[in-house]
Amino acid sequence: MSTTNAQDAVVIGGGFYGAAIAVYLAKQRGMKQVTLIERESSLLSRASYNNQARVHNGYHYPRSYTTAYRSRINLPKFVLDWPEAVKQDFTKLYAIARRNSKVTANQFERFYREIGAKIELASPALRALFEPRLIEEVFLVEEYAFDSTKLAQWALRELQESAVNVRLQTQAIDICQGADQSLNVILAPHGKEKELINSRYVFNCTYSGLNQFGGDFPGTRTGLKQEITEMALMQMPPALNDLGITVMDGPFFSIMPFPARNLHTVSHVRYTPHMHWTDEPGTNPYQKLDKYPRDTRVDRMIRDIGRYLPSVLDSNYADSLFEVKTILTKNEGDDGRPILFEKHESLPGCYSILGGKIDNIYDVLEKLETENLSRSDDTLSEHAK
């Protein structure tokens, strides 16, 4: 087995989080030897691509004050940092269902006024799109979409500029204690012999794969729930083409622009999750999805959504995005999306990180900023003194 020595950091997982963290370590923390490991043949091709592309502004979380509030803080930063990836030129509506909703229109409006989010009644023309017997109120809000292909282009550019060594088609399989406070990661590059890479720090940013490591990796303390999800990609009819629509807050649905394909994603709380399980080592979510038959439920989604929003019946199905969605078990009930940030005490230098949603990157970077991370050249400069 070949060995690579003396990395400052190995980041496992080339999604948005792994890429942004690798860039942060190289640029902001001055690490010279950073390697990013990704099992797929391109970066940002898993959950960072297969998602609803919503830059959250809090409206999705009327039952989780912290997540709603943090989203309000993070959205303007995200728009400033990734302007080319953010689509703002569409109208965003949140509608409240009359029956089975966990919030009323009054509660929804009051909550968002209180946290300073823009919210106003939609115009009569926009309200006329909805079936009044089923929809209590329609609000015009401010929420954006992101283009994950633009985020991937940003990642490639920045990683190259920061001299991060990117290894594609390479799976990390074990994380083990090495000599002198270092860690060893065993890699299985596609179609080649295993390799060992030695590093001071390891950042496990593998989202659904967080607990799928052998060696000394202890697993995350936080419980995770895995869900196989389907979002339908649809061509909307002209009446809905410049809109994003979310009906809250119970067994309802969302239609959002998906800039990467110039289509809309359609998700439905009842039909988008196909199956779920409690995360555990040895049940690899990627393999589970590979074996899953992927029979679409688009007909059921559109039939139900058509009751609330009749013009959706004129949309055309293009494709479906299937992905494993990973959430913290503790947030099943309130839909909150805090970050997972764990430092593994039994494996010093090893961190597991899960963002939950794209704009949480700021919460992760804030946490990393408080970590005292040493670099390999720190020891050299200590000796030179």
Q: Is the dihedral of CA 80, 83, 85, 88 positive or negative?
A: positive
CB closer to ligand FAD, 298 vs 375: 298
Q: Does residue number 171 form part of the binding site for ligand FAD (CB under 6 A)?
A: yes
Residue 237, both tokens: 């009819």
CB closer to ligand FAD, 338 vs 356: 356
CB closer to ligand FAD, 139 vs 213: 213
Q: Does residue number 178 form part of the binding site for ligand FAD (CB under 6 A)?
A: no
* # residues near ligand FAD by CB under 6 A: 39
Q: Does residue number 323 form part of the binding site for ligand FAD (CB under 6 A)?
A: yes
Closest CB 4 distance from ligand FAD, rounded Å: 15
Which letter, b or e, does each residue of 59-72 get, where b requires 16 or more Cβ atoms within 10 Å of its Cβ? bbbbbbeebbebbb
Q: Does residue number 209 form part of the binding site for ligand FAD (CB under 6 A)?
A: yes
> How far is residue 193 from each of residues 189, 190, 312, measured CA to CA in Å?
7, 8, 51
Residue 146, both tokens: 């992101």
Closest CB 53 distance from ligand FAD, rounded Å: 6
* Greatest Cα-to-Cα distance within the chain, rounded to the nearest angstrom: 77
What part of residues 218-237 is at the interface with ligand FAD (CB under 6 A)? 229, 231
46, 70, 200, 264: which one binds ligand FAD (CB under 6 A): 46
Q: Does residue number 8 form part of the binding site for ligand FAD (CB under 6 A)?
A: no
Residues 6 or more apart whose Cβ sits within 8 Å of residue 70: 338, 360, 363
- The whole-angstrom separation of Cα 359 and Cα 71 is 7
Closest CB 152 distance from ligand FAD, rounded Å: 10
Residues 144, 75 contacting (CB under 8 angstroms):
yes
Q: Does residue number 85 form part of the binding site for ligand FAD (CB under 6 A)?
A: no
Q: Does residue number 325 form part of the binding site for ligand FAD (CB under 6 A)?
A: yes
- The whole-angstrom separation of Cα 228 and Cα 274 is 5
Among candidate residues 354, 204, 229, the one with its CA nearest the CA of residue 285: 229
CB closer to ligand FAD, 134 vs 188: 188
Closest CB 375 distance from ligand FAD, rounded Å: 24
CA 156 to chain centre: 18
CB closer to ligand FAD, 166 vs 231: 231
Closest CB 226 distance from ligand FAD, rounded Å: 10
Q: Is the dihedral of CA 282, 288, 46, 266 positive or negative?
A: negative
203, 207, 271, 351: which one binds ligand FAD (CB under 6 A): 207
34, 54, 75, 137: which one binds ligand FAD (CB under 6 A): 54
- The whole-angstrom separation of Cα 203 and Cα 164 is 14
Q: Which residue number places its CB atom closest to ligand FAD? A: 15
Q: Does residue number 51 form part of the binding site for ligand FAD (CB under 6 A)?
A: yes
| Among the residue ranges 32-40, 127-135, 242-250, 311-319, the one whose residues contact ligand FAD (CB under 6 A) | 32-40
Among candidate residues 250, 239, 226, the one with its CA nearest the CA of residue 325: 226
Task: Quote the Cα angle for 110-111-116, to 5°.
Answer: 95
31, 36, 37, 301: which one binds ligand FAD (CB under 6 A): 37
Q: Does residue number 48 form part of the binding site for ligand FAD (CB under 6 A)?
A: yes
- The whole-angstrom separation of Cα 108 and Cα 94 is 10
- Which positions lie near ligand FAD, rule CB under 6 A? 12-18, 37-40, 44-48, 50-54, 56, 171-172, 205-207, 209, 212, 229, 231, 323, 325, 354-359
